[in-house]
């Protein structure tokens, strides 16, 4: 499709809707499928007690989450959902920034609107797969991993078609490898910030 969107339209037509899926799915998991989450956390804490390498912060976080679920604290669960939603809406900003910077470096178009277009459309499968957060299971994690892989595949496809990266050599491959590396590093930092805020909510 040759339809062009502004960044505002991309957010209002797509991001605001799709980014809500993982947030509301967490909330559904914490309420309707609470027992599955409680069991999963209890199993994790039992394993963590035997593992001296386990991060103490992770253990404290899980204990705080377990208490919130067992107390049926809806206020905290809603605040966690809204925090998740806020950070999900920030993902396209991070990915678009990386895409724009690297597209320019590899001889493509350094266009903020195109970078956001690629970023938001590429993240839609990941957001849609967020529905599986409702049920805490290994299958859910596998599907979410596949969705993340598909996000990067879409960015790779868009490199030549949308961002106009030169087709000679292996520029698209080099581009996507760097996109993945930068995105994983920044996601790790942002994820740490999100879990810190969430922990503050849980222990408040």
pLDDT for 166-180, tens place per residue? 987 788 999 999 999
In a domain, 69, yes or no: yes
Q: What is the pLDDT of residue 66?
A: 95
In a domain, 1, yes or no: no
- Asked if pLDDT for residue 84 goes beyond 90, the answer is yes
The total number of structural domains in the chain stands at: 1
- Asked if pLDDT for residue 25 goes beyond 70, the answer is yes
Distance CA 7, CA 113 (A): 6
Its sign, for the CA torsion 60, 66, 67, 73, is: positive
Domain carrying residue 189: 7-203
Q: Dump pLDDT digits (tens) for 133-147.
A: 998 888 999 999 999
In a domain, 94, yes or no: yes
Q: Per-residue confidence at 1, pLDDT binned at 50, 70, 90?
A: very low
Q: What is the pLDDT of residue 167?
A: 83
Q: Per-residue confidence at 149, pLDDT binned at 50, 70, 90?
A: very high
Distance CA 122, CA 91 (A): 11
Q: What is the pLDDT of residue 17?
A: 98
Across residues 12-37, what is the average pLDDT? 95
In a domain, 2, yes or no: no
Q: Per-residue confidence at 2, pLDDT binned at 50, 70, 90?
A: low
- Closest-CA residue to 118 (of 168, 171, 174, 183): 183
Q: What is the pLDDT of residue 169?
A: 75
Question: Do 45 and 153 form a contact (C-beta atoms < 8 A)?
Answer: no
Q: What is the average pLDDT score of the chain?
A: 94
Q: Dump pLDDT digits (tens) for 109-122.
A: 999 999 999 999 99
In a 13 Å sphere around the CA of 101, the CA atoms on its Cβ side amount to 10
Question: Do 95 and 122 form a contact (C-beta atoms < 8 A)?
Answer: yes
In a domain, 152, yes or no: yes
Q: What is the pLDDT of residue 185?
A: 97
């Amino acid at each position: 499709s040759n339809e062009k969107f502004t960044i505002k339209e991309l957010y209002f037509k797509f991001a605001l809707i799709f980014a809500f899926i993982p947030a509301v799915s967490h909330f559904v998991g914490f309420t309707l499928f609470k027992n599955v989450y409680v069991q999963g956390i209890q199993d994790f804490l039992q394993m963590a007690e035997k593992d001296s390498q386990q991060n103490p912060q992770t253990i404290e976080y899980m204990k705080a989450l377990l208490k919130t679920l067992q107390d049926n604290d809806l206020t905290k669960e809603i605040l966690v959902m809204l925090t998740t939603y806020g950070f999900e809406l920030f993902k396209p900003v991070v990915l678009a920034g990386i895409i724009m910077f690297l597209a320019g470096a590899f001889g493509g178009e350094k266009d903020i609107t195109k970078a956001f277009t690629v970023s938001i459309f590429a993240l839609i499968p990941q957001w849609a797969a967020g529905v599986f957060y409702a049920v805490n299971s290994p299958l859910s994690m596998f599907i979410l991993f596949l969705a993340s892989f598909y996000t990067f595949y879409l960015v790779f496809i868009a490199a030549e078609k949308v961002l106009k990266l030169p087709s000679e050599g292996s520029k698209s491959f080099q581009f996507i490898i760097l996109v993945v590396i930068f995105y994983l590093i920044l996601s790790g930092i942002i994820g740490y910030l999100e879990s810190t805020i969430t922990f503050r909510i849980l222990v408040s």
